[in-house]
Structure 1
Amino acid sequence: MSGGKVVAGAAEAVADIADGARLAVGGFGLSGIPDTLITALAEGDATGLEVYSNNCGVDGHGLGVLLAAGRISRVTASYVGENKEFARQCLAGELEVELTPQGTLSERLRAGGVGVPAFYTPAGVGTPIADGGLPWRYAVDGSVAVASPPKETREFDGVEYVLEKAINADFALVHAALGDTEGNLVFHKTAMNFNPLAAMAGRITIAEVERLVEPGQIDPEQVHLPGVFVQRVVHSGAQDKRIEKRTVRASEEGGQ
């Protein structure tokens, strides 16, 4: 299927992502991550990438592929606990990391998409998030080379709030279960958490879709993200769904 915003393949779709590009990447854990687009980007040579995402994948999967290749210079995320290489690079001073509350991250992405330059939130007031001093980059000797600056705070109706700036990315990479050739997208369950918001924040949004249909085949009331936010569509087809953590119950015999 062709026409509309459909691009022939993932490599073509990400070909103009250059060194130092700012990327908003969808997904929640390993749910709804744009694997096809990340793989295509990893096969190119763009480096020094600045990433905005809920997390940074796991070792050898998702954004972890770009991280292991040394292609990411900075990450803004709300959770980074499942990637050993991420921890190593962070502590070695090879990677700059801005940790932000999860709700704040989602609203920063949404704000970028709707044209709101900044907003006030109570999340982080009275902590290094607002006061500054949160380590962003470590030196080789373990000292803090770059720390977060203090942010503006203001009181409304007796409650203190901190000012957070919107995120505007050069590109957004997202994964949808269903999409049409004009970029209208439907996300599956947990993939709804960050994919629509990441897509809104990108100046150029590239969506990989498992099932591609013609315009009019998706009920307008079922569209999660309208095509106005999407510039390129790649038909990825169905993909294997990895499980981030597998827990099994001990058998009655005491084994696994």
Structure 2
Amino acid sequence: MISKILPCCAEAIAPIQDGAHIAIGGFGGAGMPEALIGALLEKGTRDLTVITNNAGQGDTGIAALLNARRVRKIVCSYPRMAGAHVFEALYRQRAIELELVPQGTLAERLRAAGVGLGGFFTPTSYGTLLAKGKETRELNGRHYVFETPLFVDFALIHAQAGDRWGNLVYRNTARNFGPVMAMAARHTIATVSEIRELGGLNPEAIVTPGIFVDAIVLRTESGADSLEASRPALTTE
């Protein structure tokens, strides 16, 4: 019986080693895999390259990873949003590297990695410092910048529901970077708020097929791992 359900986040993130390139989903708090980030903190993994939308807010989640000096480099679109004081302090101390990528370009670079494209041309960032050192081309009278795929070792994402094969559906704006990150990653780990029996997910609503997911962990409303997630009773043949 195929089942990608694991009993806890600690077991799910166990394969992540020092120096890994990790994509972390979320748009603000929506879709943020807080439990997986917490498990990564407890594991002590360091020298990470993190690919995400922003550089963390407050003192939790991604900001906690940064504050613990676990991240060597961050690739993101919005490093200086409200509450990003941890990143700003580290950056001013030159204690962290930053690669700034426009939001649409970030999503498309991840998607390109997932679908096997060698890269793409985009007009975004042409004529700016972000285009420095990159190939540019004029096509049909418009200038473009060539961007390369963004491959990652691991993707940490959160979805609303999943099944034991790893199929995922999302809730509203939590469907942000999760789907393309799962496609780009060599190993995808997802937390879900509920696990459905096989056939319990509307196939038309499945955004991330299980082929892109390696492990899922059920999270209770309290935020604790649910050992019930590993029991066959939650699934059907």
Instruction: Give the structure-1-normalised TM-score.
Output: 0.84
Offset of residue 200 of structure 1: 1.3
- Counterpart of 1:170? 153
Q: 1-side partners of 2:213 and 2:69: how far apart?
A: 28
SS at match of 1:197: helix
Offset of residue 56 of structure 1: 2.3
Matching residue within 170, 181, 185 for 2:168: 185
- Counterpart of 1:104? 105
- RMSD of aligned alpha carbons: 1.3
Q: Which runs of 5+ in 2 are unaligned?
A: 224-237
Percent identity between the two aligned chains:
45
Contact 1:210–1:239 under 8 Å retained in 2: no
Q: 1-side partners of 2:6 and 2:209: how far apart?
A: 18
> What does residue range 73-92 of structure 1 map to in structure 2 within 5 Å?
73-80=72-79, 81=81, 82-92=83-93
- Counterpart of 1:36? 35
> What does residue range 90-169 of structure 1 map to in structure 2 within 5 Å?
90-130=91-131, 132=132, 150-169=133-152
State the structure with more CA Rg.
Answer: 1
Counterpart code for 1:222: A
Q: Residue by residue, what CA displacement relative to the aligned partner does 1:14-36 show, whole Å, maximum 9, x if unpaired?
A: 01110100001111011110011
Counterpart code for 2:170: F
Matched, 1:237 2:220: yes
Q: 2-side partners of 1:209 and 1:117: how far apart?
A: 32
**Structure 1 residue runs of 4+, over 2 Å off?**
237-240
Aligned residues: 221
Q: 2-side partners of 1:188 and 1:239: how far apart?
A: 18
Q: 2-side partners of 1:105 and 1:117: how far apart?
A: 15
Contact 2:49–2:74 under 8 Å retained in 1: yes
SS at match of 2:88: helix
- Counterpart of 1:211? 194
